[in-house]
Amino acid sequence: DGKDPSYGNIFYIDYATKQEIYLCNKPNCKHNDETCSSYLEGSAGSDYNILATDSALYLLYTPAYGMFASIGDGGARPEKKAPTPAIYRMQLDGTGRSKVLELESGLELSGPYIYGGGKLYCNGAKTKMKDQGNGMFASESGKWDLLEFDLENKTTRVVTSIPYDQVIGAYQDKIILCRYQFPVDPDTLLDDDGAYMENFRKATGSLVFFDPVSGAEEAFYEAGSNDVAGMTQWKNKIYFSTQNNTTILCLDLDTRQINTITDRLPAGKSYVSCEYGALLCTYYDDKEVNAEVTSCSQIDPETGSVTPMNLFTQKPYGPIRILDEAGEYYLVISDYRYKEEKTWAGTTQIDVQGTVYSLMKKSDYQASEPNYIAIQAVR
């Protein structure tokens, strides 16, 4: 229709009717321009994140052009000025959208996103375009900081520098950080990949409660870098693997005690996740680049029992994700709509074109029974 072909839309899922629905209440709306409350303008590659609170929706917009992470003026292609990243507020029905904050040009944002008391926290770094020659440009990120966006007072500030640290989550009024200590300053090893990685392997990591108001830090757990990598938080528990990934530990944030959930997992390259209390250990092959999922184990966080998890999306292959819980049901990503394409190198590339959402009983999930109740897609 001559309009921007790469626009998006906001949808919501109605559990009662099991449908995806446009966030729009206008009769006969085509949902393809700014007159629709679900409409999201932007070029291909633009990223939107939605934060839902009890009284409003917040939309985080970081524009991009093609394969360039071109966020703001500092990340745009030289011949075209990029839109400015911003945070918008709207009513729960999508109406009344207004800009809360216009963010710094060239700012790149990354989760996890933490919200509380009208303030939003996330990782942020200034990006710039680096000339690679032959008319090619690539984005280059600067040092990472923990940022605070005050959505009520409409202010932005750097809370603390986290160039090599990790944001784990939040507990009560504190943010949980993993602060790394290195034998050698990593910045001095940027030209030696082997020494750089060895420096990380010899590092230690300390979990700290960080107060974003006062800046005070309180360390409460320390271990080698390999034993604090891949931590995942669910409510007042942090889960992580050690001992060549055969053991999963649980750190209780209330008591600060460490308990062993299981020490009988198969050894191998793996990743621990916990979504709505469902604790998984997902295994990958030994490829250095583009490693693929090989299997998955489900761990009962109370008893430590380990059973195979057999619920997978087909392409890309991986365990299904839990997005929400509704009574006795989970809302899950049960599969993806995709198209396979051959690349110039002769390999096959999976082009994900849509997401398949489903409800399933929690008992079926725990038993690895694929009894999905499909959510009707809007298109």
Least Cα distance to 177 among 156, 187, 163, 191 occurs for: 163
pLDDT at 70: 35
Contact 180, 165 (CB under 8 A): yes
**pLDDT of amino acid 64:** 62
CA distance 196 to 208: 24
Q: Is the pLDDT at 350 greater than 90, yes or no?
A: no
Tens-digit pLDDT profile for residues 198-236: 998 899 999 999 999 999 999 999 998 888 878 999 999
Which residue is listed with tokens 């038993």?
A: 367
160 neighbors 215 (Cβ within 8 angstroms): yes
Instruction: Return the pLDDT at 268.
Output: 86
**CA–CA separation, 176 and 22 (whole Å):** 36
CA–CA gap between residue 344 and residue 140 (Å, rounded):
26
Report which residue type is found at 80: K
CA dihedral sign, ordered 12, 14, 15, 19: negative
For 278, the token pair is 């469902």
For residue 267, pLDDT over 70 is answered with yes
Tokens read off for 168: 């784990």
Are the beta carbons of 265 and 246 closer than 8 angstroms? yes
- Residue with token string 């009513």: 91
Q: Are 241 and 281 in contact (CB under 8 A)?
A: yes
- pLDDT tens sequence across 180-199: 999 999 989 888 888 988 99
Task: Decide if pLDDT at 20 tops 90.
Answer: yes
Residue 243 pLDDT > 90, yes or no? no
Average pLDDT estimate for 12-27: 95
Cis peptide bond upstream of 78, omega within 30 = no
Position 128 scores a pLDDT of 73
- Continuous segment of H or E residues that includes residue 199: helix 193-201
From 197, 245, 203, 196, select the one nearest 223 (Cα to Cα): 203
Residue 365 has a pLDDT of 97
How much is the average pLDDT of 357-369?
A: 96
pTM for this entry: 0.85
Q: Which pLDDT tens digit goes with each residue over 59-116?
A: 998 876 433 333 344 444 444 455 678 999 999 999 999 999 998 877 888 889 999 9
Q: How confident is the model at residue 310 (pLDDT cuts 50, 70, 90)?
A: very high
Would you state the pLDDT for residue 74?
Answer: 42
Q: Are 373 and 360 in contact (CB under 8 A)?
A: yes
Average pLDDT in the 276-282 region? Answer: 95
Q: What is the mean pLDDT of the chain?
A: 87
pLDDT score, position 82: 53
Residues of the chain with pLDDT > 90, as a percent, come to 62
- How does pLDDT run across 31-55, given as a tens digit for each residue? 988 899 999 886 555 688 899 988 9
259 pLDDT exceeds 70? yes
**First-to-final CA distance of the chain:** 18
